[in-house]
Amino acid sequence: MVIYISSSISNFREKLQKRMDVPYANIWNVYKPAIFFGLYHKIDYIKFLAHRGKKKVFWTGGDIKNLKHNKNKKWQERIANADAEHYCENEVEQRVLMSMKIFPDVYPMIFTETDNTVTFQKNTNPHIYMTAHAGREKEYGVDILRLAAVEFPNYRFHIYGLQGEVMDNLDYGILSENDFNEVTKDYQCAVRLNRFDGFSETVAKAVLRGQYAITTIEYPEIAYANSLESFMYELDKIQYKTTPNYQGRDYWIKELEESKWKLLS
């Protein structure tokens, strides 16, 4: 088996090769069993449709939106009719794919190897963090986190991945992945407020380190908040957490390993 990784997520190439322990196909072999990570654009579509070996697609989020809004609707039909297995990371993605007659199984994944060491530290003035992209602040819920900083003055909030206007208890930063992992290791809770999203690596890393997480997409053993009120309610609980989230950590260690092996089988 080989893996193909869309150029749109090429930054994950080295991580995925290590995580999956399967070679990346530098030279295209149309007959080898293959997993396509991401179908983002026309070149991906053509390569996938022309492949003659057993093939699987792991949809990563943005590629689903691209296909849904592609003006040439024939790509949807061609991909849906191809002899392939499809996978995505949550039921939100699954529903959109099913609307295009693509029927995936749901297997959340993490693309990065982690050591799963528990690093959570109790703190009655908890550190809450998110990652976001410049120009997409609304999508990531930056405005909501800034509002939360006003509501919880005893909390410390961090937004990584962009610059912005700091507050007394909220700051921004752009860090390398290694620095991000080091800085956030003792924090208490990761937040992911995207309404359409894959299984966030930020959230995955948090729960694997025994931290807590709040998301707007439902996942087992992760706090779910689909409104401003429910988000504030879940956020309020974090200051009372005195022990690591062992239950969530144990669940996701098992779930993410099972997802990997199901995809490789």
> Does residue 120 lie within any of the structural domains?
no
Q: Are residues 244 and 131 both part of a single domain?
A: yes
183/75 same-domain check: no
| Mean pLDDT score across all residues of the chain | 95
Mean pLDDT, residues 26-30: 72
- The answer to whether the predicted template modeling score (pTM) of the entire model surpasses 0.85 is yes
pLDDT of residue 27: 62
User: What is the reported pLDDT for 25?
Assistant: 73
**99 and 205 fall within a common domain:** no
The full DSSP string for the chain is -EEEE-GGGGGGHHHHHHHHT--B-SS--TTS-EEEE---SHHHHHHHHH--S-EEEE--SHHHHHHHH-S-THHHHHHHHSS-EEEESSHHHHHHHHHTT---EE----SS-----------SS-EEEEE--TT-HHHHTHHHHHHHHHH-TTSEEEEESB----BTTEEEE---HHHHHHHHTT-SEEEE--SS----HHHHHHHHTT-EEEESS--TTSEE--SHHHHHHHHHHGGG--S--HHHHHHHHHHHHHHHHHHH-
**Domain range for 164:** 127-253
Q: What percent of the chain has pLDDT over 70?
A: 99
- 136 and 240 in a single domain? The answer is yes
In-domain check, residue 263: no
Examine residue 165 and state whether it is found in any structural domain, yes or no.
yes
Asked if residue 116 is part of any domain, the answer here is no
Q: Are residues 91 and 134 in the same domain?
A: no
59, pLDDT greater than 70: yes
Q: Could you tell me if 73 and 173 lie in one domain?
A: no
* pLDDT of the residue at 26: 64
